[in-house]
Amino acid sequence: MKEKWIGKKQKNQLTKNLNAKKEYLLQNQELFGKEIFLDITQKSPPFSNQLNTFEKNICNCEKCDLHKSRTNFVFGEGDKNASLLLIGEAPGAQEDLEGRPFVGRSGKLLDKILKAIDRDRFNDTYICNILKCRPPENRNPSLSEVDKCKPYLNHQIKLINPRLIVTLGLVAASTLLGKDSSLKDMRNNIFYYMDYPVIVTYHPAFLLRSPSFKKNAWEDFKRIRDYIKD
Ligand code: URA
Task: Delimit the domains of the chain by residue range.
Answer: 9-40, 51-229
Q: 84 or 23: which carries more pLDDT confidence?
A: 84
**Any atom of ligand 1 within 6 Å of the Cβ of 91:** yes
Report the nearest atom of ligand 1 relative to the CA of 172. Answer: 3
C-alpha span between 179 and 51 (Å, rounded):
29
pTM of the model: 0.81
pLDDT of residue 204: 98
Q: How confident is the model at residue 2 (pLDDT cuts 50, 70, 90)?
A: very low
Question: In CATH, what class is 51-229?
Answer: alpha beta
C-alpha span between 25 and 87 (Å, rounded):
33
pLDDT of residue 158: 98
Q: How confident is the model at residue 39 (pLDDT cuts 50, 70, 90)?
A: low
pLDDT of residue 210: 98
Close Cβ partners of 150 (under 8 Å, ≥ 6 residues apart): 130
Cβ 126 vs Cβ 82: under 8 Å: yes
Within 13 A of 155's CA, how many CA atoms are on the CB side? 18
**Any atom of ligand 1 within 6 Å of the Cβ of 89:** yes
Pocket test for ligand 1, best of 85, 89, 113 (most atoms within 8 A of CB): 89
Question: Between β-strands 196-201 and 191-193, what pairing exists: parallel, antiparallel or unpaired?
Answer: antiparallel
Ligand 1: centre distance to CA 6 (Å): 52
pLDDT of residue 1: 45
pLDDT at 90 over 90: yes
Report the nearest atom of ligand 1 relative to the CA of 130. Answer: 3
pLDDT of residue 41: 54
Q: How confident is the model at residue 14 (pLDDT cuts 50, 70, 90)?
A: low
Ligand 1: centre distance to CA 105 (Å): 10
**Any atom of ligand 1 within 6 Å of the Cβ of 90:** yes
Q: Which amino acid is at 69?
A: S
Q: 49 or 28: which carries more pLDDT confidence?
A: 49
Question: Which of these ranges, 27-31, 34-38, 96-100, has the smallest mean pLDDT?
Answer: 34-38
* pLDDT (average), residues 213-220: 98
Question: Between β-strands 191-193 and 125-129, what pairing exists: parallel, antiparallel or unpaired?
Answer: unpaired
Report the nearest atom of ligand 1 relative to the CA of 203. Answer: 3
Across the chain, what does the average pLDDT equal? 91
**Any atom of ligand 1 within 6 Å of the Cβ of 101:** yes
pLDDT in tens, 120-157: 999 999 999 999 999 999 999 999 999 999 999 999 99
pLDDT at 209 over 50: yes
The helix (H) or strand (E) run that includes residue 66 is: helix 66-69
pLDDT at 211 over 60: yes
**Any atom of ligand 1 within 6 Å of the Cβ of 76:** no
pLDDT at 23 over 70: yes
Ligand 1: centre distance to CA 57 (Å): 22
